[in-house]
Amino acid sequence: MNFEPTETQRQITQVIRDFGKIHIQPYVLEWDENQTFPAPLFKQLGELGLMGVLVPEQYGGSGLGYLEYVTVISEIAKICGAIGLSVAAHNSLCTGHILQFGSEEQKQRYLPKLASAEWIGAWGLTEPNTGSDAMNMKCVAHKDGDEWVINGTKCWITHGKSGDVAVVIARTGNVRDSHGMSAFVVERGTPGFSGGKKENKLGMRASETAEMIFDNCRIPAANMLGNEGEGFIQSMKVLDGGRISIAALSLGIAKGAYEAALKYAQERHQFDKPIASFQGISFKLADMATEIMAAELLTMQAADTKTRGGVVTQQAAMAKYYASEVAVKTANEAVQIFGGYGYTKDFPVEKFYRDSKLCTIGEGTSEIQKLVIAREALK
């Protein structure tokens, strides 16, 4: 398999680096400190075609494949993990769900607005008492004539307050029945739908994470995605793609931390030598480089399978599990290489360290990835 970047991937990389230098890098610390969700930035990213990467051109998207998508997310995450997370959640969760399971009418209504980032997307599966155990969800939808009425709370939702449109999974049948949940599109402004508490997080602070509250929220029956009872199964398929996103996010964070540490290790002198000349430091760099390469190959393999239309459940879980653990380990070692300076906000590695931890949690924890990998292996 040849994963040499294509001309399109090279162009994407250059566009993101040029754009990021002017519109992201200078503000990263300020957004992080103040937990600012920079909504206007996403409109600019939309103009660059980065908010509808996988959406076909007929719906206003860029019509690219998963290999290019991995390039987009990892290049943004090298500059700022939080912006990478928001772009990933918008593209692969909300937009991805409508793209995979929406009717032609739903695709025409939502995809052009999402691809241009005129509308920001949110995707709500998680609830206060059900994260890994999503089949136990309490948020319910019941049919009333030509409408569905949704009641309950979703939490930890990326763009839970600022999202203009949300895909929401709610119970329409029995608890723990995989066919007992359905997916709906809910637009901001619908009476009974509001944003709740915004989380004050360790990292990824410029990516808004908040509750979504549904209080007798009535939506037309036509807002269901696919058929009644398909919501959970659809969500698992959406997460297969989403896990490639988080693998790419992890890869970008790991590469950003590694590149900063590599440079610093050659510049910083102790005992009259660059610290890179000490084997204790150069071996850390060797481990980081090797593990990043392995994470990249797993991620590209999953992206390639997905682009070809293959079943990606195990490969995506492997890529997400390995790449996210590598991101945390690499960022940790990068702080170590920077010594005391790495512990300050004057250098980028403390932020990579804080941001990296989300990658082993969001869209299924490392433990859940291992359950998925083992279940597939034992089939």
Ligand X SMILES: Cc1cc2nc3c(=O)[nH]c(=O)nc-3n(C[C@H](O)[C@H](O)[C@H](O)COP(=O)(O)OP(=O)(O)OC[C@H]3O[C@@H](n4cnc5c(N)ncnc54)[C@H](O)[C@@H]3O)c2cc1C
Q: Which residues bind ligand X (CB under 6 A)?
A: 89, 93, 123-126, 131-132, 156-158, 204, 209, 358, 361-365, 367-368, 371
**Residue (19 or 321) nearer to ligand X, CB:** 321
Q: Are 69 and 91 in contact (CB under 8 A)?
A: yes
**Cα–Cα distance for residue pair 184/168, rounded to 1 Å:** 5
Half-sphere exposure (Cβ direction) of 44: Cα atoms closer than 13 Å: 12
Q: Are 50 and 87 in contact (CB under 8 A)?
A: yes
For residue 39, the minimal CB distance to ligand X (Å) is 16
**Residue (127 or 304) nearer to ligand X, CB:** 127
4 is catalytic: no
Q: Which two tokens stand for residue 130?
A: 């059900």
Distances 24 to 32, 237, 353, 375 between C-alpha atoms, Å: 12, 32, 19, 40
The DSSP output letter for 61 is S
Q: Choosing from 267, 363, 367, 376, which is the catalytic residue?
A: 363
CA angle 163, 165, 171 (to 5 degrees): 110
**Residue (231 or 342) nearer to ligand X, CB:** 231
Q: Are 31 and 206 in contact (CB under 8 A)?
A: yes
CA angle 86, 91, 93 (to 5 degrees): 90
For residue 99, the minimal CB distance to ligand X (Å) is 16
**Residue (9 or 92) nearer to ligand X, CB:** 92
**Residue (89 or 120) nearer to ligand X, CB:** 89
Q: Which residue is nearest to ligand X (CB)?
A: 131
42 CB burial (10 A radius; 0-12, 13-18, 19+): buried
Q: Are 260 and 349 in contact (CB under 8 A)?
A: yes
For residue 201, the minimal CB distance to ligand X (Å) is 6
Facing residues of 165 across strands? 121, 187
For residue 90, the minimal CB distance to ligand X (Å) is 10
For residue 86, the minimal CB distance to ligand X (Å) is 10
Catalytic positions: 363
